[in-house]
A and B are shown apart, each in its own frame.
Chain A
Amino acid sequence: MGKVSLYAPIAYLVLLLSSLALFSTIYRRRKVRRLVGLKPWFDEHASRDIYLSLKAQTSPKVPEKMLKAALLRRATENVRRIMSLQESKPALAELHQRGAVGDELWTRFLAAEKVMDAEIMECAGEANTIKPGWAQTLFPSAAEIVHNSRIRERLAQVPELQKEEREKWQIVRETALSELENENGASVDTEVKKASKKKK
């Protein structure tokens, strides 16, 4: 009887701990598998791939400024992604809380945030390796690149928009003039007023 009373608690403990350990490994492995299977939030990170590829190239060696430009492009894409995450977070959190979007989407979003944090850290580290202290201004510069490229996109539309407005006005004017010709007699001034009233 004495033997049993000595081994029973030890056996119990071993059994308990090993089952806990087994559960935790299986649980964690499943969780990892589930996360790995998730579709990433963003598409491929082209500028990061390009930067890493340029950095890996040894012969012929890529000029220093090309590498810097590539890192700045990478930071620019990161800023764009961070902005888009920040913009969508409040709405998405609200929808998730109300149950309007599934857990999977929310998990994907949280994973994307973590990935972006790591990506920013790595990017800053690269900048400081190239030039100590550059990480301080790298992201402000990248943010301006994002803003300026939006501005340029809008300004690039100006000639096309002007063409549209010119054509629209041309049609309106021609119809107004032909109406004027049809209704002879009344003074031009009031006719113009009438024509403009019709259009609104």
Chain B
Amino acid sequence: MTVSLARTLATTRRVLGQLRHDPRTIALLLLVPVLLLVLLRYVFDANPDSFDFIGSSLLGIFPMITMFLVTSIATLRERTSGTMERLLVMPMGKADLIVGYALAFSLFAIAQTAIATGVALWLLGLDVAGSPWLLLLVALLNALLGIALGLFVSAFAASEFQAVQFLPALIFPQLLLCGLFAPRDTMQPVLEYVSDVLPMSYSVDGMNEVLHSADITGDYVRDALVVSGAAVLVLALGAATLRRRTE
């Protein structure tokens, strides 16, 4: 697969242009995570340690969920409206399309996470030992993973109804097993093994490293690499679902 920078950037600009005509979606994308963190802060009013742990974990989980939803619906629309077919009979590389989308939504993920992290750290008193940049990096990798998953499932969804149902199907099990509800090593052993291969577990572990340690630990690097690897793998699977010739 060859990548054409001009076509990739044109696609990024186009996706951002589409979002610009949809200010409500922009507002929801940027504000909902912040409001949920505020909510969480007061849910754990008497228990700031729990807020630190769950809040920092959520900073990574939000972008995965929102980018998953946005990407799966956006690509599904491309597939059903015929624009995807038009692009693929034009001199458009599949990689141009995918990277173009990933760039556009990553920019959004960065804005979303920067706002949420800023508010959490400086207004809600989220207490982390490490650098906020490390939180941001894991959040961005999670956003990429969400984009990749969204692209992938859109191939298996015939309608928006189905696409949205993939959220509980693919994301919720990860949420339950990632260590947020119970430490992973206390789960039934089979579930513990399953959680070992789910990328969200590594995202939460990585955020935890930043929470407890002022330096970049080896575990943090491993966690970040696992999440990136999962994102690249799923992105490749998603690319394989883009077919120039279809039924």
Note whether A and B form a binding pair: no
Query: Which residues on B are within 8 Å of A, measured CB to CB?
Result: none
